[in-house]
Amino acid sequence: MANTLRIGIAGLGNVGVGVLDIIRKHEALLADRAGVAIAVTAVSARDKAKDRGHDLAGLKWFDDPVGLAKSPGIDVFVELMGGEGDPAKSAVEAAIASGKHVITANKALLAHHGAALARAAEAKGVALNFEASVAGGIPIIKALREGLAGNRVTKLFGIMNGTCNYILTKMANEGRSFKEVLKEAQDLGYAEADPTFDIGGFDTAHKLAVVTALAFGTEVNLKAIEIEGIEAITLDDIRNASDMGYKIKLLGVAVSHAEGVEQRVHPTLVPKGSPVSDTDGVFNAVVVKGDFAGDLMLEGRGAGAHPTASAVLSDIIDIARGNLRPAFGIPAAKLKPYRQAPNKAHEGGYYVALELVDRPGAVAAIARILADQRISIESIVQRGKPSKDLQRETATFILITHDTLETSIRAAISKIEQDGHVASKPRLIRIERL
């Protein structure tokens, strides 16, 4: 390799500028650690005139990121544009075809096209690195691909979206509504004007798809993930959970079974004091269960310009050192076809909030319906005094069930609704004992 590793950056948003910040501030330190000088030589972005706090006069400018990807003036193409399709996809494919190493922070691109891009990169003998795509500055990709290479991972789970974690934390700590805290998160820049991608669980699902492939050696399969967001979580749910010794977190969970792989994203009651329960605010945390290393938890800033840029730099230094590894830990040809695990008995039970019509025998009827589905109740609590809802007297009951099948609890809830025992749609949240 020449004395300078030449970097081309496509996308000069917060993370792209963060990469420039680190390279220019730690120029000598990075050269010592990488063994060669690291220099940004070319960039591409939508607005050339925008002030980004850096003098870009000495850098070659490309209006078209595909042109940058093909440029003979770079060795490494860093894709920071985002999005599952073009221009990111075309640019990354062009860089690989041109024999350029690729670094991306684009979890959507990897979740949809990761296996194909990995095969293409291996065929050309170039790196496809993506440490920054999951959990910002937390080195979860290296942990799975390298640090735990001697382990068979059986389960991983974690908080992978800072926006959702911020909202749930604020609701719990300050007693404020979902709507109010979401507006604050948008004002602070933690949530987009259209927050659906975050609060709907889709961002977490993209990240989970990537780490699942790494952890279990399977092809990436985003479509297999059960996804539920936090939009329906109420302040009452958070208070009830706290009173019962739990916190509510949005988790991404992947479990390897003999029959296949289980992936799910959903709000979860986690016991206070358990892993990830004390990870609050915009922080992320991922727990990995290895058969020899045991449980490993990594926690830190899951987003932000400099934490994410720090992860990009770790990938750049790997390339400078010649540390080229298969993108998903094993050769892409050896990635197993994804096999969906059948419905399993859920470990940890369920939290069920019911607005029961207050009439004789209602609670007994609920108990019978649950018993018919072989669901046992761990605890039942009535909250507050009966109130009028939809012209009927109602009372709020909170149930905690023992371990059961998802199909069983769904069938029971459907029967409860059909029989007219509730005045509003029941709220159901999984419990993970962890």
Q: Over 52-72, what HEC string results?
A: CCCCCCCCEEECCHHHHHHCC
374: exposed, middle or buried (Cβ count in 10 Å: 0-12, 13-18, 19+): exposed
Q: Which residues contact 416 (CB under 8 A, 6 or more apart)?
A: 354, 366, 369, 422, 426
Q: Could you give the angle at the alpha carbon of 33 between the alpha carbons of 307 and 98, nearest 5°? A: 80
Sign of CA dihedral 353, 169, 106, 196: positive
As to burial, measured by CB atoms within 10 angstroms (0-12 exposed, 13-18 middle, 19+ buried), residue 377 is: middle
Identify whether the C-beta of residue 3 lies closer than 8 Å to the C-beta of residue 11.
no
Structure tokens at 250: 């949005």
Distance CA(29)–CA(38), nearest Å, equals 10
CB 312 within 8 A of CB 17: no
Query: Which residue in 163, 136, 188, 192 sits closest to 304, CA to CA?
Result: 136
Q: Residue 234 belongs to what H/E stretch? A: none
Residues written for the chain: 434
Of the candidates 285, 5, 294, 60, the one whose C-alpha atom is nearest the C-alpha of residue 155 is: 294
Contact between 220 and 209 under an 8 Å Cβ cutoff? The reply is yes
Measure the CA dihedral 391/392/395/398, to 10°. Answer: -90
Q: Which residues are designated catalytic?
A: 207
